[in-house]
Amino acid sequence: MQAITGLRCHGGTPRTGDPLEECEARADLERELSALPGEDLILLLFTFTPDTSFAEISRMSGVPVPTLKKRIQTIRRRLRSRLLN
């Protein structure tokens, strides 16, 4: 999963100011991303790919754009909720 997310617990400046807290947050994110169903993870990652529009993702996945937007919104809400709890 680390290769997919590009997250490391060493190097760089921690956003929180606490390296341990930053590392734990990254581990939490990796765990939650790993728990997503494969198709949800792929759709979510495509939304963070530069120069990839919802129309392109829709064409590649076969999911209509309105449905795609709703699914991405649901995935993000679920991730946010799990990471904040």
Q: Is the separation of the CB atoms in 28 and 20 below 8 Å?
A: no
**Residue 19: phi, psi to the nearest 5?**
-55, -40
* Distance in angstroms (rounded) separating the CA atoms of residues 22 and 56: 34
User: For residue 82, which amino acid is it?
Assistant: R
Read off the pLDDT of residues 23-72 as tens digits, 9 standing for 90 and up.
888 888 889 889 999 899 999 899 888 889 999 999 999 999 999 999 99
34-51 core/surface letters (b: 16 or more CB in 10 A; e: else): eebeeebbebbebeeeee
Angle between helices 54-61 and 38-47 (to 10 degrees): 150
pTM: 0.68
